[in-house]
Amino acid sequence: MKLPIFLYGSKILRENAADADLMKKDEITALVADMEETLAAADGCGLAAPQVGVPSRILIVDGRGLEDVYPYLKDFKRVMINPELLEESRETCDYSEGCLSVPGIYAEVRRPERIKVRYVNEKFETVTEEFDKFACRMVQHEMDHLDGKMFVDRVAPIRRKMISKKLGNISRGKVSAHYKTRLGE
């Protein structure tokens, strides 16, 4: 089932998500299926549970639609339940980021080049994996959502000032998107 994506300004996007209860496998599996359908309909490359109104530490990253630009993402898709950042590199890199919760805004964000994450996958297996390049970027972006952070919090102050009017419009629901959105309290 396609779920509405909560927009910038929604309270749930600023809350710390709780660990998913791994004993509730059927609920998690159903939520993941709904998130995958929602992500595909929105034509995005990542989605965290808080973005669909569920305050749970679950995210999906899917780079398969980006393989023309990033060939190494050809088969890259991950479901991460209760991800935990174990390591991050000192080296950083800048990439332009956007977000389904902040339609129409893109900005350069500096993040670590490499990270190591431990998470539970959709088969409920514990995995420890290292990420680099754009895969690393996608994982970090979605993990931020689990901690109530958004990419616009990480942009340079001058850029933040430049986009402040657009952010205000989004938080008032004055935005157009080709997918179902919702503004939460």
Q: Are 115 and 139 in contact (CB under 8 A)?
A: yes
d(CA 102, CA 99): 5
Q: Which of 27-31, 63-67, 142-146 is least confident?
A: 63-67
Helices and strands, counts by H and E, the chain: 3, 9
- Res 141: pLDDT: 98
Taking CB atoms within 8 Å and a gap of at least 24, the contacts of 66-73 are 66/134, 70/133, 70/134, 72/133, 72/135, 73/134, 73/135
Pair type for strands 126-132 and 114-120: antiparallel
185 confidence band (pLDDT: 50, 70, 90): confident
Instruction: State the greatest distance between any 2 C-alpha atoms of the chain, in Å, as a whole number.
Output: 46
- Res 117: pLDDT: 98
- Residue 148, by phi and psi: left (phi above 0), alpha (psi -120 to 50) or beta? left
What Rg value do the Cα atoms of the chain yield, rounded?
16
Instruction: Label residue 158 exposed, middle or buried (CB < 10 Å: 0-12, 13-18, 19+).
Output: exposed
- What is the mean pLDDT of the segment spanning 76-82? 98
184 confidence band (pLDDT: 50, 70, 90): confident
- The residues annotated with a catalytic role in the active site are 142
pLDDT tens-digit map of 104-147: 999 999 999 999 999 999 999 999 999 999 999 999 999 999 99
Q: Are 37 and 126 in contact (CB under 8 A)?
A: no
d(CA 78, CA 61): 5
d(CA 17, CA 170): 22
pTM metric for this prediction: 0.96
